Chains A and B, each alone.
Chain A
Amino acid sequence: MTTLFDPSAAATQATDAILHDTLHGTARGVVVDSPPGAGKSTLVVRAALELAEAGHPLMVVAQTNAQVDDLVLRLAEKNPELPVGRLHSSDADPYDKALDGLENVRKSAKAADLAGLAVVISTAAKWAHVKADEPWRYAIVDEAYQMRSDALLAVAGLFERALFVGDPGQLDPFAIVGSEQWAGLTYDPSASAVTTLLAHNPDLPQHRLPVSWRLPASAAPLVSDAFYPYTPFRSGTGHGDRRLSLAVPSDGSGPDRVIDEAAESGWGLLELPARHTPRTDPEAVRAVATVVRRLLDRAGAATSERSPDPTPLTADRIAVGTAHRDQAAAIRAALADLGVTDVVVDTANRLQGREYDVTVVLHPLSGRPDATAFHLETGRLCVLASRHRHACIVVCRAGVGDLLDDYPSTEPVQLGTGVKFPDGWEANHAVLAHLAEHRVMWRP
């Protein structure tokens, strides 16, 4: 007889073990791998509060200003009394204006002004400029897999011990110049912070959050199998827990049919005829825009475990993901032509960590004559395929399967570097095979 999987219990157990190692463990670091939407931010906030309550001065390192502001807001929401310092840059508008309304949050461009506060939060780039006579007892490093090793080198002297939290399946950090020279060194400056940390400290306790609360039951198995084959996770909700309904019936067009398919099954592939196109493929761009327009026109409503009543699928609950910035710009322009202005359209890099009800994705390999390492990168597809709570619609030209077979990965093998599993080629095939079951062919 199999025991019933209880997602809440599994998640609580994992969190408790992490907090125990962080607060009472002897290791200098604790590493937490978190799949998409597994409550990483919740964990960071909880760990920060518990460390602060135990009287340990804490520094928190995040990667972008948006992430820092988000953490400050979440901390203040959980404990409005907690004195929090927001260390920011000296540029104009360095932080979210919403922070001005919080009484216990002090903001400054100088670390000295924030001395003595329970928690001080900033970006890795800003922390790198801080000189401290006395290191912090504790640090939390958020999005540690997206932090570059050299960024950790610049801040690691500021703390004695740290909790590193991040998602290993997302995009790896990159350098804009070649760094093959250091490939294979344990401290390769272009590698991720966690790679370097674990290479030098292999005995650090490593934990994993086992449940994705974001991904629906229709998406978690695919994302887990394709991108986390050795560290599987489950969805926190079951198949019946989420529903996407559309008030306006289909008009029978390709975009409407793929919307129906995605509403029903959680996935939809709108396949355009095979063709080699420029990056900003006008037909594919228009198709993406049309799908978004129809999603809004058809008055969608999402029902989930969060509330018994359906919430309307408004523009702010939809996002469009692309591989390149010019594609995002082209789609934005196409959406504006259709009168849609407030749907987020961005690249995979910028969508990391965000969450929507429905995402529409322009497949990174759509219409391409070749498959480069950039387009095959596992993390890119993983980010694009794991932002949604209800459904994901992929727009793609036919023939990507053949393209993948024509271009197996040919990256040079570097001695001493760990091989990343799965490789982009395999992950792409896994996702394509699954999407093929939800295909709607359309000739615009």
Chain B
Amino acid sequence: MSLISTLARLEAVSTGRAQPAATVRHRHLSDRPLVFVPLTTAGEAGAPLGALVGTDRDAPRLLAVPQPRDRDLRFAFLAELADVVLPYIDAYAEVVEAAERTETDPETGKRVKVEVDLCADAPQLIVPSRGGIDLVRLLGRSMRFRRTAEQDPETPYPAPPRVPLLGRWLTHFGERARVPGSSLLLAMTDVLSRHWATGQSTLEDQHLGALLAWIDPPEGLTGAEAALRAELERDAKGQLTCPPAGPATDPAFDNKLLAPAIERYDRARTALAAAEDGLEADDRLGALTAAEREIRDLVLSRTLPTWEKVWQGLDLLRELPEGAHVEERWTRDRWSFTGHRDRVLAGEPPQPRRDDAVTAANKLATREREQARLEAQEALDDPLVMAGRRLSGEAFAGEVTDVVMAYSEGKRPSPRPLVTVRTDDRPHLGERTKVYRSLGGKPQSAEFVGVEEDGAYVVLRVLDKMGRGKEPEPGSVPEKGDRVCFTLFEHEQRGGAKLPDPEETPWTHGGPPGEATLEAADPVTSEDVL
């Protein structure tokens, strides 16, 4: 934890309210996000119990699985989920704008510009907490290899038509969420704790109710009191008044409310199956429907508070102005979305279970680059974030007190002015350390020459962005009295080296992975069909 976030947390404890950790919003928020509040069943990985999903805060769609261990009911849930999510995605896939992309021409091997479609906007999925992101990934994994009856008439348990497609999309969202700074799939707790520092631990920040209690405590309560209430307060029946944001449910709810309700549902179903005539069946169908409605009400009662909290979080975040580089990062999300749309349209197989060596290395390289880029951009967009970097010696700000013109040696001397900056910061500068400042959105580099008077004055030699002439272009060199901020980290990331194609994987990494085969879904075990 950085020094500034420790300070912010201490301040949150002493004031009883979360403190801002950012002055602008560092993540893109869609005008029409799809909020997804899922619940799972205890004891079985990724068995959905129900969900609230939708883009309209006042009209969420309730999905529930009255018997979570029944695979037909689970498929019905997934099919219903696909009916909500896929049209939402399709709406964004259809609207495109023209864009340019550099590609390698297969014949000449040269890099050429190609005109391509880029989706004008992209869908955005919002889940309450990090566990929600894991579940999205797990659902994607469990669906994308399934076969529909149309794809494979022999398949023993055919999936409803659009379920495998939903699996591929959820997998894409889950994978993209691993890229630092991406916003296709966000966990509300992550985004809120990026922008506010609370007086509790980062682990406790994973509880959406407690986190919001610190950020926006109810009248008359401190953040700590409100957070404690959110975590522990129970009603007369022993149920949490602020149910956990899921996907796991509270054991008291499971034992006291859910289990008996599911048992009643099971009994009603058995009774219906045993009905001997139409009249009896009608009665028992009524009982079954009532039992099902009871479970749906239970699911709604546990998801609706979380649903409202997610929207409350969105309201809080929307009050912050968007950071300057957020748009640029969202454009990369749009490219990612468009890329997957094109792969689906081209009939490519679902994402493989495991990445091959080259894909894994490429993904890691991309994410490391995005991480470095995100850290630099957040600091440039936000003085509060930059203050943290200054406090840790990675940047410094101050006033220019002197500029002395100097030139490089060589046949064509270029300007290398010496700039003295008075600063109260203590940057970790070593001999010839490179530093950067933003000049019209582009980084200008300088090198550290020395300090004067006990480190209060830093002397720098400006190295570039001064034009080609002997005299620097106007405005390209700081002037006496200017406020400047230099960073020790680079503002832009260089692209890494190109890795070999997967079919040219070298012997050190096991050689080429071979032809991509269509992977089958996991075999059905006895536990799948209880």
Contact = CB atoms under 8 A, between A and B. Distances in A.
24 contacts: A28-B507, A29-B508, A125-B497, A128-B497, A129-B497, A150-B360, A150-B364, A152-B508, A153-B499, A153-B509, A156-B506, A156-B508, A157-B504, A175-B368, A176-B372, A177-B180, A177-B370, A179-B364, A181-B178, A182-B360, A182-B364, A185-B354, A186-B510, A188-B360
B495 to A, nearest CB: 10
Nearest to A198: B508
B61 to A, nearest CB: 31
B62 to A, nearest CB: 33
Interface in B481-499: 496-497, 499
Contacts of A125: 497
A176 B508 contact: no
Given A182-B355, A197-B508, A200-B509, A187 B496 contact: no
Interface of A: 28-29, 92-93, 125, 128-129, 149-150, 152-154, 156-157, 175-179, 181-182, 185-190, 193, 196-197, 200-201, 325-326, 329
Contacts of B504: 157
Contacts of B497: 125, 128-129, 154
B371 A176 contact: yes
A314 B357 CA distance: 49
A256 to B, nearest CB: 29
B290 interface: no
Contact of B364 (A129, A156, A189, A326): A189
Contacts of B509: 149, 152-153, 156, 187, 196, 200
Nearest to B504: A157
B456 interface: no
Interface residues of B, number: 34
A144 to B, nearest CB: 11
A154 B499 contact: yes
B113 interface: no
A72 B166 CA distance: 56
B292 to A, nearest CB: 38
A176 B505 CA distance: 24
Contacts of B372: 176
Interface string B365-390: 10110111000000000000000000
A122 to B, nearest CB: 12
A176 B368 contact: yes
Given A176-B372, A185-B354, A128 B364 contact: no
Contact of A325 (B368, B370, B428): B428
B519 to A, nearest CB: 16
Contacts of B370: 177
Given A182-B360, A189-B361, A201 B508 contact: yes
A404 to B, nearest CB: 22
A197 B507 CA distance: 8
A201 B511 CA distance: 11
Nearest to A158: B506
Contacts of B363: 189
A181 B355 CA distance: 9
B393 interface: yes
Given A182-B355, A200-B507, A128 B496 contact: yes
B30 interface: no
A200 B508 contact: yes
Contacts of A150: 360-361, 364-365, 499
Query: What 3 pairs across the A-B complex have the smallest Cβ distances?
Result: A128-B497, A156-B506, A150-B361
Nearest to B513: A187
Contacts of A157: 500, 504, 506
A206 to B, nearest CB: 15
A183 to B, nearest CB: 11
B130 to A, nearest CB: 12
Which of B354, B356, B463, B507 has the largest number of chain A CB atoms within 10 A?
B507
Contacts of B367: 177
B500 A189 contact: no
Which of A150, A186, A325 has the largest number of chain B CB atoms within 10 A?
A150
Given A153-B509, A156-B508, A182-B360, 20 more contacts: A129-B497, A150-B360, A150-B361, A152-B508, A153-B505, A154-B361, A154-B499, A156-B506, A156-B507, A175-B368, A176-B368, A177-B180, A178-B178, A182-B364, A185-B354, A185-B355, A189-B357, A189-B361, A196-B509, A197-B508
Given A181-B178, A326-B428, A329-B393, A153 B500 contact: yes
B178 A187 contact: no
Nearest to B137: A181
B358 interface: yes
B241 interface: no
A190 B178 CA distance: 15
A153 B501 CA distance: 11
A330 B355 CA distance: 43
B392 interface: yes
Interface string B342-358: 00000000000011111
Given A128-B496, A175-B368, A177-B371, A153 B508 contact: yes
Contact of B508 (A92, A128, A196): A196
